[in-house]
Amino acid sequence: MSGASLSEEQVTACRERLAEFRQEFYRSLTRWSDALFELADAVLCAPGPVTSLPELSLVGVHRRGHGSTYAALADGWMDVDRLRVALAGLDLPRGSDGQLRLAVDVTPVAAPGRGMFTAAGACASAVPM
């Protein structure tokens, strides 16, 4: 956050919002909920780019074998409308001036079999700062 520190109340509010979103995300997973939720956590907690599903079973938060990962992806189900509502309800990060504050990683990424993207061609998703 560009050197700014948060008050204890702000930290608590952020944690509560995150916990509420995680609960709603979990509720949107209607089949194989636990396995899909752990899979999402493993992707987010992986130390770098995820290049294969079995490697996710090595991430600490993923307590299942890679077999259940494949089963969850094949047979799991998500209520996309419920997740869409949860995402639409999130506050966007804004600075004190009211402007949106997003960070974008434009680091060139190796694409298998295609070499590297150029900085001009790279496009990453925006994440809150």
Q: Where is average pLDDT lowest: 48-52, 72-76, 111-115, 121-125?
A: 121-125
SS3 letters across 44-103 = HHCCCCCCCHHHHCCCCCCCCCHHHHHHHHHHCEECHHHHHHHHHCCCCCECCCCCECEE
pLDDT of 120: 44
The string of pLDDT tens digits covering residues 18-66 is 899 999 999 999 999 999 999 888 888 888 888 888 888 778 888 887 7
Query: For residue range 55-72, what is the model confidence (pLDDT) as tens digits?
Result: 887 788 888 877 888 899
Instruction: Write down the pLDDT at residue 126.
Output: 41
Query: Please, are residues 126 and 68 in contact by the beta-carbon 8 Å criterion?
Result: no
